[in-house]
Amino acid sequence: MVPESMFEPFNVAEHQDNLLLILREIVANPDIRGKAIDLLLKQYPRDGKGFYARKHLIQAYRELAATNGLPPFDPTVIERLQRKPIRTISGVTPMTVLTKPFPCPGTCIFCPNDIRMPKSYLADEPGAQRAEANAFDPYLQTYSRLLTYRQIGHNTDKIEIIILGGTWSFYPEPYQIWFVKRIFDALHDFGKGLDRREEVEAMLRHTRLHPLNLVEGQVDGRRMIESYNQMINKVYKEELAMQFEYATWEELEAAHRENENAPCRSVGLVIETRPDYLDEAEAVRLRRLGCTKIQIGIQSMSDDVLRANKRGHDVQRSRDALRALRKAGFKIHAHWMPNLYGSTPEQDIEDFQRLFTDPDIQPDELKVYPCSLIESAELMQFYERGEWRPYEEHELLEVLMACFQNAPEYVRLTRVIRDIPSTDIVVGNKKTNFRQIVEEELQRRGIRSREIRSREIGGQKIRAEELTLKQVSYPTSIGEERFLQYVTEDDRIAGFLRLSLPHTEPCVPELANAAMIREVHVYGRAVGIGQMLQGKAQHAGLGTNLIEYAVEIAVAHGFQKLAVISAVGTREYYRKRGFEDGELYQIRTLK
């Protein structure tokens, strides 16, 4: 369960005099931010010993604004008090939850086998630790994460839900429906100020959901006497099918409707799965769950490499899966792994380029995960026989630099190097800041990457009239894709829209004769629903302008409708822009 210390109550009234002195200085001087706030806190010790934390200032400002001589509440003050502002710099507040440990259909030799976790995750990873602390319960994970975000000053109005852990499509359907519904239940309770965590914790204690203290942990990758699945089935025999982990489609749809106008809304729902568990029928079912983006492990564009690593599918299966996702309008977030068994740095550079020259692939986002050697992985046997080795640092640097140089401007490299604790890596790269190393070397060589994350405006102040609308067109497996982007004079990106112009048969009847908006994203620090912050890209009308330009393109190409794969919490936004509710999508009739 969640340690009580994580949510230790803080009584503002007991410290009001000191806190008012600090807040008055911060409010009066907009230049006090960052390290200057930390220096100010040292001038006013807490109870004569120790210091106040940022979360104490944030709570105090929320309670004391417009009293005791403080001016009315100003959201820019909270913005200055934030911890880890990078978390919401992309415009939404991401929230990751993990599913419970469960058998996996894959037998990949590079995959960790930590039976305390869902397949491919390790107990020492930060997100995994949060999940374990909350017994992998979706309500507890969601509620505690929202509370943490609020405590450190981040907005919780617009949440991107990211569900990780194993192969989502391999979990039982009732568990999937229940898991998503309980996330929405937590969003709604948090928005109303209700806290049902004690009820959930009492039930989990009664059902003994996760006896992690009884679990040894990892499979021995050198000998593999028992597989991950064998140990999971043995250790979690009772926990794999808990009776209360059940909800109906009707209950989930009711939760969706409530979320449309809730204080705490889902503006995106992401799951991860494998290519060999995804076809058109599965894509439609995922859409019914409310999903808008799919993380999918391609890993390699070489059949030989996939076969050598016992991946369980070939490149054509990846093409088929991504084609199904594109037809359904999903945003595609692929995973790709250099340094796999059977590959070389030179082959990896060519392999990366194939991701974007093959019309069947071309993901919107990409995680680049160089293979790390984990003791519980079967790859240990190949390493000890001298058949595989990790790349030297200079080799890995050249591969990753080539990735940044060759990435097209419509893709976002969301992560480079997986956040695996160095203590879990047997040999090879243990630097989690390798992206920074790559970017610094690119800058030293005078090379600028065109991928989205390298060009985001971040917290930069902008004016809409200073932006230029650009578009990139490229062929896909189902038609033509248009990437519309608002950029500054120096090509920093403030917002974009992904528009699909399909020429294939639709996956569902409501998409007949329809162009498809797959994503609208406006950058800048996340602000609340209806709030306005001076000079921020969000709420500057950029999203509406992009939609109207997409309408013009769709009309010019002869489409009768424009569909959007909207998240549950963005349905109201699209209704106000002429879209009507369909069964799985929102549709705007074109004139």
**Sign of dihedral through CA atoms 112, 117, 119, 124?**
negative
Contact 515/500 with Cβ under 8 angstroms?
yes
pLDDT of residue 411: 98
Same domain for 316 and 434: yes
Contact 264/146 with Cβ under 8 angstroms?
yes
Whether 2 is in a domain gets the answer no
Terminal Cα-to-Cα distance of the chain (whole angstroms): 55
Whether 438 is in a domain gets the answer yes
Contact 520/494 with Cβ under 8 angstroms?
no
Same domain for 547 and 503: yes
Whether 1 is in a domain gets the answer no
Same domain for 236 and 135: yes
Question: What's the structural domain count of the chain?
Answer: 4
Scanning the structure block, which residue is given the tokens 């009066």?
A: 28
d(CA 401, CA 445): 11
pLDDT of residue 17: 79
Tokens of 328: 């359904």
pLDDT of residue 278: 97
CA atoms within 13 Å, Cβ hemisphere of 516: 29
pLDDT of residue 524: 67
pLDDT of residue 7: 45
Q: What is the CATH number of the domain that holds 318?
A: 3.20.20.70
DSSP bridge partners of 485: 470, 496
Same domain for 501 and 413: no
Same domain for 254 and 150: yes
Q: Of 221, 248, 273, which residue is a domain's last?
A: 273
Whether 91 is in a domain gets the answer no
Same domain for 262 and 118: yes
Same domain for 252 and 105: yes
H or E stretch including 587?
A: strand 586-589
Tokens of 420: 């695996």
Q: Of 34, 49, 81, which residue is a domain's last?
A: 81
pLDDT of residue 41: 78
Tokens of 546: 């992009």
Same domain for 284 and 182: no
Q: Phi and psi dihedrals of 366, rounded to 5?
A: -145, 130
Contact 461/536 with Cβ under 8 angstroms?
yes
178-194 pLDDT, tens digit per residue, is: 999 999 999 999 999 99
Q: What is the pLDDT along the chain (591 residues), one digit of tens a residue?
A: 333 334 456 788 878 878 888 888 888 888 777 778 778 878 778 876 678 887 787 888 888 888 887 888 887 777 777 766 555 555 688 999 999 999 999 999 999 999 889 999 998 888 888 998 899 999 999 999 999 888 877 889 999 999 999 899 999 999 999 999 999 999 999 999 999 999 999 888 766 545 444 455 667 778 877 888 888 888 777 666 677 889 999 999 999 999 999 999 999 999 999 999 999 999 999 999 999 999 999 999 999 999 999 999 999 999 999 999 999 999 999 999 999 999 999 999 999 999 999 999 999 999 999 999 999 999 999 999 999 999 999 999 999 999 999 999 999 999 999 888 888 999 989 988 999 999 999 999 999 999 999 999 976 778 888 899 999 999 999 999 999 999 999 999 999 999 999 999 999 999 999 999 999 999 865 445 554 444 454 445 899 999 999 999 999 999 999 999 999 999 999 999 999 999 999 999 998
Computed over its alpha carbons, how large is the radius of gyration of the chain? 24
Tokens of 476: 């896909």
pTM for the structure as a whole: 0.87
Whether 95 is in a domain gets the answer no
Q: What is the CATH number of the domain that holds 557?
A: 3.40.630.30
Q: Which domain holds residue 222?
A: 100-273
d(CA 334, CA 327): 16
d(CA 147, CA 130): 13
pLDDT of residue 4: 35
Same domain for 556 and 476: yes
Contact 54/79 with Cβ under 8 angstroms?
no
pLDDT of residue 420: 86
Same domain for 463 and 450: no
Q: Of 273, 308, 338, which residue is a domain's last?
A: 273
303-329 pLDDT, tens digit per residue, is: 999 999 999 999 999 999 999 999 999
pLDDT of residue 5: 37
pLDDT of residue 564: 98
Whether 89 is in a domain gets the answer no
Whether 132 is in a domain gets the answer yes
43-68 pLDDT, tens digit per residue, is: 778 876 678 887 787 888 888 888 88
Task: Give the amino acid at 205.
Answer: R
Contact 218/114 with Cβ under 8 angstroms?
yes
Whether 401 is in a domain gets the answer yes
d(CA 428, CA 110): 13
Contact 469/495 with Cβ under 8 angstroms?
no
pLDDT of residue 353: 98
d(CA 580, CA 591): 15
Same domain for 412 and 344: yes
d(CA 276, CA 129): 29
Same domain for 460 and 322: no
DSSP 240-301: GG-TTS---HHHHHHHHHHHTT-SSEEEEEEEEE-GGG--HHHHHHHHHHT--EEEEEEE-S
